[in-house]
Amino acid sequence: MRTRSRWVLTAGLAASAMAVTACSSGDGDGGGSGEPSGLTGTITISGSSTVQPISALVAELFNETNPDVAISVDGPGTGDGFALFCAGQTDVSDASRPIEQEEADACASSGVEYVELEVAFDGITVMTNPANAVECLTSGDLYALFGPESEGFASWADANALAGEVGGGGGFADQPLQITAPGQESGTYDAFIELSGIADLGVERGLSEQDAEALRKDYQASPNDNVIIQAIEGLPSALGFVGYAYAEEAGEGVREVAVDAGSGCVAPGEATIADASYPLSRSLYIYVNTATVAESPALAAFVDTYLSDVGLSEAVAEVGYVPLPADRIETTRSAWEGVAA
């Protein structure tokens, strides 16, 4: 989410969007000449706070030539977004993880049919304050600091013994351990547990699956990524995690921590996220209500713009995430063509 540069580049992206919406599946007049397209209606988007900046920028660009389409974009979290989507209350659900079976069942019970569209790559970024000397954490370290057995650890040093038991590096200093991170409503929370290996380690150590698939309950949870960043910036030994774009936007206010999942320390970056060598890499998605697409030329045109080069390449990169490679983009577009045809 590179807001400092966003406003410089948005004008150029908007010009590109004019050409894209001219070819959209709306009424055929997408505004290639800069004139309003004639499309009207409302589009409601909710879900992942990680995906929210992409959807918000695409909505802004779409409105350059479709000013009479009212678009709302909210980011309460992936889980909360799916609850709304599967109740038929939103048109698009932003998600930082794939839909879970329980959520899919809820959609089916409500008669909500959808298409899953992969739109970008992200790397969950573990952060600490620049005053902290920690630069790399192993999977065992992450378990010892964040995992279900770390509840009650008030100091980094408290995690040393557990880290040793689960193959971590340990050796942490005796300094306050103050964690601020996404809560259970967030897809980032679920993805972090899975990608970090916390769930697998918990099961190996005899925890129930339910207990293993959770973080310690005594950290400060927030659905707002900017609040998490502020907490890291304000406390010398703070610890937390957010999506890559938010960590990058914080710049020197945070220290991005490399992760060692067994192949050495790998820092998050565009290249390491794109090739998945960074262990906490993941895909980002939008889910679109297919029945609403059939009834709403505005929604169909909006998704056309989202899946154009303007959306999947330029807008994704502009807000700080990693664009999909060509083959994954083709897969996404093929899935959408099956709906929009």
pLDDT digits (tens, 9 = 90+) for 49-91: 999 999 999 999 999 999 999 999 999 999 999 999 999 999 9
Yes or no: say if 193 and 213 are a contact pair by the CB < 8 Å rule: yes
Higher-confidence residue of 11 and 301: namely 301
Confidence check: pLDDT of 27 > 60: no
**Average pLDDT over every residue of 165-192:** 96
pLDDT digits (tens, 9 = 90+) for 268-327: 999 999 999 999 999 999 999 999 999 999 999 999 999 999 999 999 999 999 999 999
The two tokens of residue 46 are 């909710």
215 pLDDT band (50/70/90 cuts)?
very high
Yes or no: say if 187 and 241 are a contact pair by the CB < 8 Å rule: no
C-alpha–C-alpha distance, residues 80 and 38, integer Å: 33
| Homologous superfamily (CATH) for 3-121+283-340 | Periplasmic binding protein-like II (3.40.190.10)
Comparing 3-121+283-340 with 123-281, is the CATH topology the same?
A: yes
**Average pLDDT over every residue of 321-338:** 97
Distances (CA, A) of 23 to 30, 37, 41, 57, 263: 6, 11, 19, 19, 46
Long-range contacts at 324-331 (CB < 8 A, ≥ 24 apart): 324/118, 324/119, 324/120, 324/121, 325/274, 328/118, 331/118
Beta carbons within 10 angstroms of residue 5's beta carbon: 10
Residue 241 confidence (pLDDT): 98
Residue 12 confidence (pLDDT): 44
Q: What is the DSSP string of 229-277?
A: HHHHHH-TTEEEEEEHHHHHHHGGGSEEPEEESSS-EE---HHHHHTT-
Higher-confidence residue of 37 and 258: namely 258
Domain boundaries, the chain: 3-121+283-340, 123-281
Minimum mean pLDDT among 9-23, 152-166, 257-271: which range?
Answer: 9-23
Confidence check: pLDDT of 112 > 70: yes
Q: What is the DSSP string of 57-125?
A: HHHHHHHHH-TTEEEEE--S-HHHHHHHHHTT--SEEEESSPPPHHHHHHHHHHT--EEEEEEEEEEEE
Residue 18 confidence (pLDDT): 44
> Pick from 188, 137, 191: which is nearest to 166 by CA?
137
Helix axis angle for 3-22 and 297-306, nearest 10°, is: 120
C-alpha–C-alpha distance, residues 56 and 154, integer Å: 38
Residue 341 confidence (pLDDT): 74
Top CATH class of 123-281 equals alpha beta
Residues written for the chain = 341
Residue 35 confidence (pLDDT): 63
- DSSP 8-state assignment for residue 174: S
The two tokens of residue 84 are 């709304």
pTM: 0.86
C-alpha–C-alpha distance, residues 319 and 333, integer Å: 21
Beta carbons within 10 angstroms of residue 275's beta carbon: 12
**Average pLDDT over every residue of 250-269:** 97
Q: Rounded to the nearest 5°, which phi and psi values hold at 238?
A: -70, 160
Residue 7 confidence (pLDDT): 33
> Pick from 105, 72, 101: which is nearest to 89 by CA?
72
Give Cα 300 distance to the centre of its chain: 23
Yes or no: say if 113 and 338 are a contact pair by the CB < 8 Å rule: no
> Pick from 193, 225, 196, 230: which is nearest to 212 by CA?
193
Confidence check: pLDDT of 29 > 50: no
> Pick from 235, 260, 231, 264: which is nearest to 246 by CA?
231
Residue 135 confidence (pLDDT): 97
∠ CA 282-285-291, rounded to 5°: 160
The two tokens of residue 241 are 């995690």
Residue 23 confidence (pLDDT): 44
Mean pLDDT computed over every residue of the chain:
91
19 pLDDT band (50/70/90 cuts)?
very low
Residue 66 confidence (pLDDT): 97
